[in-house]
Amino acid sequence: MALDFNPTEKQQPIMTFLRQFGLSVMRPAAIEFDKKEHEKPTAVIEQVNMLIGAGMGGLSRHKPEEEAENKAAASGKGLAGVLFAEELAYGSAALMLSFPGPGLGGAAIAAAGTDAQKKKFLARYSDGKVRFGAMAYTEAHCGSDTGAIKTTAKREGDHYVLNGRKIFCTNGASADIVVVWATLDPTKGKEAIRAFVVEQNTPGFKVGSLEKKMGIRSSETAELLLEDCRVPLDHMLGDFDPNAGAGGNTKGFKGAMATFDATRPGVAAMACGIARASLDYLVERMREEGWDGPHYGRSRTNLSAVDDAVQEMEAQIEAARRLTHRAAFLLDAKLPNAIEASMAKAKAGTVVVQVCAKAVELLGPEGATRAHPVEMWLRDSKVYDIFEGTGQVNRLVIARRVLGYTSKELQ
């Protein structure tokens, strides 16, 4: 039986709504706030929160018990989530990152938290108020090398004391809760890594600088500082066993890493949305100038350079989309999807940069100016080959699983 990843009859009107909302509200705001970095697109966020509260356009909030049952719920459920994410990113992926919700922090809690932790920390995102969640992973000296994390967590009585500095944290300054990755023992590498929930206004938890970025400028990216920040024992994600020593935890590193199997398809979908937006804009502009392509069915020897480029862009976007849909389908089926999630993320992250760069090129010198949004999309596109695991790291994950190597055997 062939798998059908196309929108269902029920989903199609939602897709249409999201496309219209993206084009009429999100895209103009993204262009405006690309020029106003560090200003919150408050009006759009309020509109989105009203839609979420009303359950419109596929932007409904999930109940805490649903979060507990489905690790993907915090970022959208499986295939429906990636279909909706692509449409919103078609309007503006950068602005989409500014939408209120549990975010990556919520995804980590859903993937590795206990039922009690999910109920405690995720319930606050279903009450209709504008709240953000975030995850603090990256440090100045380490991005993808989790074992090199230096932020420490030391147990003192009924608390853990966190010390360290995190960077590149999406919505970190606005977050109601932040999931912070830290080590119980820097000498033990990944084995000692744990994830901790830090609530806003916790003493010792401070926001540092906001990054000035090349792309996704309407999205907040913060530095976070932890100085003797004390969190209760039950804020460490997973079942805590006080008799198992300072790191008594049933899920630990592997449980928290399951976050990325759930979120990488969504990030890949956003990359596909940007790529589609760039290609559609390019085709529309060229047709205004008299181009009557693309000419399907002709041999490659009879195609113009523009025809050839456009058809190749279309093919690459579709390849990335199918990988993304497959990874999301497996997530819905509660089947292992680590390799498929990495394939989708690696492919989409590469394709979006290539497509946006080619769109800028084919529009000529004017394509590199702010006269066209493709210049902004090209700047936005690069991060999709970086966050949620760089393209290189995802290809390494794929290679290890295909070849049957451990992380120590293939680095």
pLDDT at site 65: 40
Judgement on whether residues 393 and 264 belong to the same structural domain of the protein = yes
Judgement on whether residues 157 and 296 belong to the same structural domain of the protein = no
CATH number of 33's domain: 1.10.540.10
Q: Tell me whether residue 309 is in a domain.
A: yes
- Catalytic residue numbers read 388
Judgement on whether residues 239 and 266 belong to the same structural domain of the protein = no
Judgement on whether residues 197 and 240 belong to the same structural domain of the protein = yes
CATH number of 278's domain: 1.20.140.10
Decide if 321 contacts 90 (C-beta within 8 A).
no
Q: Tell me whether residue 368 is in a domain.
A: yes
Q: Which long-range contacts (CB under 8 A, 24 or more apart) does 49-58 make?
A: 49/100, 49/128, 49/129, 49/130, 51/21, 52/100, 52/101, 52/128, 53/128, 56/17, 57/14, 57/17, 57/18, 57/21, 57/84, 58/11, 58/14, 58/15, 58/17, 58/18, 58/84
How does residue 60 score in pLDDT terms, banded at 50, 70 and 90?
Answer: low
The C-alpha atoms of residue 227 and residue 173 are separated, in whole angstroms, by 16
How does residue 167 score in pLDDT terms, banded at 50, 70 and 90?
Answer: very high
Decide if 135 contacts 166 (C-beta within 8 A).
no
Q: Indicate the residue among 91, 126, 161 that finishes a domain.
A: 126
Judgement on whether residues 226 and 274 belong to the same structural domain of the protein = no
Q: Indicate the residue among 252, 273, 297 that finishes a domain.
A: 252
What would the two tokens of residue 4 be?
Answer: 């059908």
Choice between 295 and 364, residue whose per-residue pLDDT is larger: 364
The C-alpha atoms of residue 383 and residue 353 are separated, in whole angstroms, by 9
Q: Which residue has the tokens 């205004």?
A: 288
Judgement on whether residues 371 and 393 belong to the same structural domain of the protein = yes
Judgement on whether residues 381 and 272 belong to the same structural domain of the protein = yes
How does residue 68 score in pLDDT terms, banded at 50, 70 and 90?
Answer: very low
* Whole-number percent of the chain with pLDDT over 70: 90
The C-alpha atoms of residue 396 and residue 399 are separated, in whole angstroms, by 5
Q: Tell me whether residue 145 is in a domain.
A: yes
Decide if 147 contacts 218 (C-beta within 8 A).
no
pLDDT at site 59: 66
Span of 61-70, 116-125, 378-387 with lowest mean pLDDT: 61-70
How does residue 251 score in pLDDT terms, banded at 50, 70 and 90?
Answer: low
Judgement on whether residues 247 and 260 belong to the same structural domain of the protein = no
Q: Tell me the pLDDT of the chain averaged across its residues.
A: 88
Mean pLDDT of 28-52: 89
How does residue 241 score in pLDDT terms, banded at 50, 70 and 90?
Answer: low
The DSSP code for 178 is E
Q: For 90-112, write each residue's pLDDT tens digit.
A: 999 999 999 989 999 998 998 88
Judgement on whether residues 243 and 264 belong to the same structural domain of the protein = no
How does residue 245 score in pLDDT terms, banded at 50, 70 and 90?
Answer: very low
Span of 62-71, 139-148, 274-283 with lowest mean pLDDT: 62-71
Domain range for 42 = 12-103+116-126
Asked if the model's pLDDT at residue 321 lies above 90, the reply is: yes
pLDDT at site 67: 41
The C-alpha atoms of residue 1 and residue 81 are separated, in whole angstroms, by 23
Judgement on whether residues 266 and 340 belong to the same structural domain of the protein = yes
Judgement on whether residues 298 and 347 belong to the same structural domain of the protein = yes
The C-alpha atoms of residue 87 and residue 148 are separated, in whole angstroms, by 36
Cis preceding linkage at 294, omega within 30: yes
How does residue 389 score in pLDDT terms, banded at 50, 70 and 90?
Answer: confident
Distances (CA, A) of 320 to 72, 188, 314: 20, 37, 10
Mean pLDDT of 161-181: 96
pLDDT at site 70: 41
Asked if the model's pLDDT at residue 178 lies above 70, the reply is: yes
Distances (CA, A) of 215 to 91, 93, 184, 367: 15, 11, 35, 16
What would the two tokens of residue 404 be?
Answer: 């049957």
Judgement on whether residues 331 and 242 belong to the same structural domain of the protein = no
Q: Indicate the residue among 202, 223, 252 that finishes a domain.
A: 252
Mean pLDDT of 283-307: 86
CATH number of 233's domain: 2.40.110.10
Asked if the model's pLDDT at residue 275 lies above 80, the reply is: yes
Choice between 58 and 345, residue whose per-residue pLDDT is larger: 345
Across 368-394, b (16+ Cβ under 10 Å) vs e yields eeeebbbbbbbbbbbbbbbbbbbbebb
pLDDT at site 134: 96
Mean pLDDT of 31-51: 89
Number of domains in the chain: 3
**This model's pTM is above 0.95:** no
Shortest CA distance to 142 belongs to which of 106, 168, 171, 104? Answer: 168
All residues at 6 or more sequence positions from 336 whose CB lies less than 8 Å from its CB, including other chains: 261, 330
Q: Tell me whether residue 411 is in a domain.
A: no
